[in-house]
Structure 1
Amino acid sequence: MRTIVSDRLRLRPWQDEDADFLFDLESRWEVVRFVGPQPTIMNDRERALASIARRRAIDDPVHGIWAITTAADGRLVGNLLLKPIPLSAGEQAGGPTEVEIGWQLHPESWGHGYATEAAAAVLSDAFDRGLTRVIAVTHPDNRASQAVCRRLGMTHLGRTTKYYDMPNELFESETREPQPVRPDQVRPLRATWSKVVGATAQ
């Protein structure tokens, strides 16, 4: 899986040595509380290792799940995904597979604009590689992730139950490259940053 670089961040493949960080990240309720219809915390480091193995096994020229690290010192700060989004039960598949973007940031890294910067870099890369549309879905109460979507220039399409068997706020970005996000343009956020039930919520 490729590495993607922005001004302050480096998004790279997950490694086994990252297991302690991933376990710490996903064992925090404040990080996972908006993920899916029945959020659960990670309660075993072995699950982190298994999750890393699945992430490393992704072999796709566009999709991926990246570890977000700081470019300056390689410090792990979170997780970002770009992947096909699962439909809710009873939804009919039709047309091209929809692709979602999502993120999780460690609480110690909230408020620095990392989610916005990382997602902007991945969206730009995805459009360069031929994607024409990317969506994000967030739990209705996940205001922080909704703010990230708006900073990315994504369009809010309203509430939907089409994905993940639960209501979500739906955002989309189409074939245009998102506007570059400079650190001085990002307002600090102290609210919970989590997977957009689909980053990523999920």
Structure 2
Amino acid sequence: MTEPLHTERLMLRLMRADDLNDIYSYQSDPDACRYLPYEPRSREAVRQNLEVHSKRNTIAEPGDYLRLAIQSRLTSKVLGELYFRLDSTVNRSAEVGWALHPEQHGKGFAAEAASALLDFAFDRVGIHRIFAKLDVRNSASAELCTRLGMRREALFIDDEFAKGEWTSTAIYAVLEREWAARQS
């Protein structure tokens, strides 16, 4: 991915080192990290992750991923992030995920950003099926999946021990043809 994606209010682009303050503001927040696979991070941990993620810009082989900053076009502030990982080249499947600063919840930014990412994945990368894995307690992400036209395909009960407790995982997915039908 060499060029940012633009929506009405957002720019989706590769993360950069100068995003540190904005990303640290939510990755260090316990509420923002509640359903993420990591505990709140230190400033140094965020810096180290940014160093790694900012170098990832290719989706060619299974396991390749992008971490995209969700940047406000109005304020230039990073509001959150998107995750896109190529799962299989044979099956043309990919995983998506998102995290948003709690102050930005309820404003439609996650839906706007995720919709643009799905457009990119289906139209430019040639993905056939996109799925999201989320903690079943994360009702906001489940609602977002539904708004995006994703259906719940699976529920795994107590499949992960995370942050000191057993958690259950829901899988949501949408196919290329389903996405195209919604867009027309």
State the identity as a percent. Answer: 26
1:143 and 2:139 correspond: yes
Which residue pairs with 1:153 in the alignment? Answer: 149
Which residue pairs with 2:109 in the alignment? Answer: 114
Q: How many residues align?
A: 169
Gapped regions of structure 1 (runs ≥ 5): 86-92, 181-202
Which residue pairs with 1:167 in the alignment? Answer: 168
Deviation of residue 153 (structure 1)?
0.5
Which residue pairs with 2:28 in the alignment? Answer: 27
Gapped regions of structure 2 (runs ≥ 5): 162-166
Output the TM-score relative to the length of structure 2: 0.82
Instruction: Give the root-mean-square deviation of aligned CA atoms.
Output: 2.5
Match 1:71 to one of 70, 73, 79 = 73
1:49 and 2:47 correspond: yes
Which residue pairs with 1:101 in the alignment? Answer: 96
Say which structure is richer in strand. 2
d(CA) in 1 for partners of 2:29, 2:148: 26
Deviation of residue 10 (structure 1)?
0.5
d(CA) in 1 for partners of 2:32, 2:93: 25
> What secondary structure is seen at the aligned counterpart in 1 of 2:35?
coil
d(CA) in 1 for partners of 2:17, 2:109: 23
Deviation of residue 97 (structure 1)?
7.3
Deviation of residue 136 (structure 1)?
0.4
Output the TM-score relative to the length of structure 1: 0.75
* Larger relative contact order, structure 1 or 2 (CA cutoff 8 Å, min sep 6): 1
Say which structure is richer in helix. 2
1:126 and 2:125 correspond: no
d(CA) in 2 for partners of 1:120, 1:59: 20
